[in-house]
Amino acid sequence: MADALRIKLTGRAILVLVFGFLYLPIAVLVLLSFNDSGLPTSWSGFSLRWYVSLAGNSDILHAAWNTLIVAVVATIIATILGTMLAIGMETRKRRSTPLEALAFAPMVIPDIVLAVALLTLFSRLNVAMGLHTIIVSHVIFDLAFVCSVVRARLKNFDFSIVEASRDLGASSFTTFWRVTFPVLLPAIVAGALLAFTLSVDEFIIAFFTAGAGRASITLPMQIYSMIRFGITPEINALATIVMGVSATVLLISQWLNKEQMTR
């Protein structure tokens, strides 16, 4: 009993430390978003002015919305394709080296090479570019990361239970949804979170595969283009809102779930 308690406390302590590390710069960022002068050098009083000016900055808000669209759609497609690829690779009787290389390639290909290559292709084929071309491009590396996480979980997976299920007369579809899928779910969720996070932050490939117009500007493109004249604290304000809203939505949904369960 004391032993279990000790393990539990150690676990808690580790979580506090790691989350402290993860949120340390975030605390700085949130603090700066409320700093009146907007300068990181000194604190000149609490102010909401950066939030007010963010509300009037259609460029940033528009870019944030585009980023959300790109990340959500790319994540959905990549999660499905990546999971299928992982299952395909791990259920093979023999490893296929070309297939393995293909699955690794999107992770190691330098972004700029992929970016230039895609733009060259799209423009030679006269493809109209926009958010859809960014999505298509993001799926490439997103799916490789999803595949990798799912494969890690499938290693040592006992495929005999799949066979057992089939022997018992279940269709392969039922087998997948009732047997394989639940085992994979944590890896699929982890892979999707990973893909989403990568997509939200990606700059070079998005810049090259975006259309020539405001309609397909994503947030990283907007922020990087501000480097020359200084990134305003509006971006800190936006980041604070994004994280605040996501956290609130999640906490509420969790709470609602709990309510429902207890009822």
Helix 234-262 with 58-90: angle, nearest 10 deg: 50
Question: What's the rounded Cα separation, in Å, for the pair 120 and 71?
Answer: 23
Amino acid at 229: F
Q: How far is the CB of 225 from other proteins (least distance, A)?
A: 3
Smallest separation, CB 230 to other proteins (Å): 7
Q: Work out whether 255 is an interface residue with other proteins (CB under 8 A).
A: no
Site residues (CB under 8 A) for other proteins, limited to 192-251:
193-194, 196-197, 200-201, 203-204, 207-208, 211-217, 219-231, 235-236, 239, 242-243, 246-247, 250
Residue 199 · residue 135 · CB < 8 Å: no
Shortest Å distance, C-beta 25 to other proteins: 4
Rounded to a whole number of angstroms, the minimum distance from the CB of residue 259 to other proteins is 13
> In the set 1, 2, 5, 108, which binds other proteins (CB under 8 A)?
108
Does 20 help bind other proteins (rule: CB under 8 A)? no
Hey, which residues between 30 and 89 contact other proteins (CB under 8 A)? 32, 39-41, 56, 58, 61-62, 65, 69-70, 72-73, 76-77, 80-82, 84-85, 87-89
Residue selected from 107, 161, 164, 252 as contacting other proteins according to rule CB under 8 A = 107
Does the protein bind other proteins through residue 139 (CB under 8 A)? Answer: yes
Nearer to other proteins, 12 or 164 (CB): 12
3-class DSSP state of 57:
coil
Q: Which is closer to other proteins, CB of 47 or CB of 241?
A: 241
CB neighbours of residue 67 within 10 Å: 24
Which among 128, 126, 118, 127 is positioned nearest to 204, based on CA atoms?
118
Contact flag: residue 113 with other proteins (CB under 8 A): yes
> In the complex, what is the shortest distance from the CB of residue 163 to other proteins, in angstroms, rounded to a whole number?
10
CB 158 within 8 A of CB 41: no
Assess contact for 100 and 89: CB atoms under 8 A.
yes
- CB 80, min distance to other proteins, A: 8
Three-state DSSP at 169 gives coil
The single residue listed with the structure tokens 């899928």 is 181
Do residues 217 and 70 lie in contact, with contact meaning Cβ atoms separated by under 8 Å? no
